[in-house]
Amino acid sequence: MDKDTPKTEAGPKAEAGQLRRFEEALPIALLRTREVVMAKFRPHLAEHGMTEQQWRVVRVVQQRPGIDATALSEACCILMPSLSRMLKNLEKDGFLTRTKVEGDMRRQVIALTQQGNDLFAKMAPQSEAIYAQIEEEFGKTEMAALIDQLQTLRRNLK
């Protein structure tokens, strides 16, 4: 082992019999891409004291006020245990309300408060602007095609 071997790894082609090169695997490609995209949004989110997941919840509730927790979980791609904690905190912080449903005492419906709507109104335009910039950098057509391919993959695997 010579000292000071930089990151120069073995080379683009791995040994036979090994797993495909890690960087070429689909799961890591999805992860890395998401990371690069989200990095564009993070300063904006931090500026408003929102986590990425909290902003997802606010967006969906804004679009679908009265949604119940189960549907929200599915829509946001956040599992119920995480969502339960988040809703408790978002309610405590005054961004949304949870209301028991008459006729099914298990369910609760969720809606934004005035404060929640204000937050959305403040954040949404800038969020859109960032998204538009990403579209421009990557190409609107290519981006639409990519989203379409992702959806197709999901359909084929489900």
Partner DNA sequence: GTGGGATAGATAACATGTTATCTAAAAATG
Partner DNA sequence: CATTTTTAGATAACATGTTATCTATCCCAC
Taking CB under 8 A as the rule, does residue 147 contact a copy of itself?
Answer: yes
**Positions 90 through 149 that interact with DNA (CB under 7 A):** 98, 103-108
Taking CB under 7 A as the rule, does residue 153 contact DNA?
Answer: no
Picking from 99, 28, 81, 85, the residue whose alpha carbon sits closest to that of residue 51 is: 85
CA distance 34 to 54: 17
Identified binder of a copy of itself from the candidate list 11, 49, 77, 81, rule CB under 8 A:
77
CA distance 57 to 39: 19
**Positions 127 through 146 that interact with a copy of itself (CB under 8 A):** 127-128, 131, 134, 137-139, 142-143, 145-146
DSSP structure string for 51-115: -HHHHHHHHHHHHSTTEEHHHHHHHHT--HHHHHHHHHHHHHTTSEEEEEETTEEEEEEEEE-HH
Identified binder of a copy of itself from the candidate list 44, 56, 98, 117, rule CB under 8 A:
56
Neighbours of 72 (CB within 10 A): 21
Give the binding site for a copy of itself (CB under 8 A).
1, 3-5, 7, 9-10, 14, 17-38, 40-41, 56, 59-60, 62-64, 66, 71, 74-75, 77, 101-104, 124, 127-128, 131, 134, 137-139, 142-143, 145-147, 149-154, 156-158
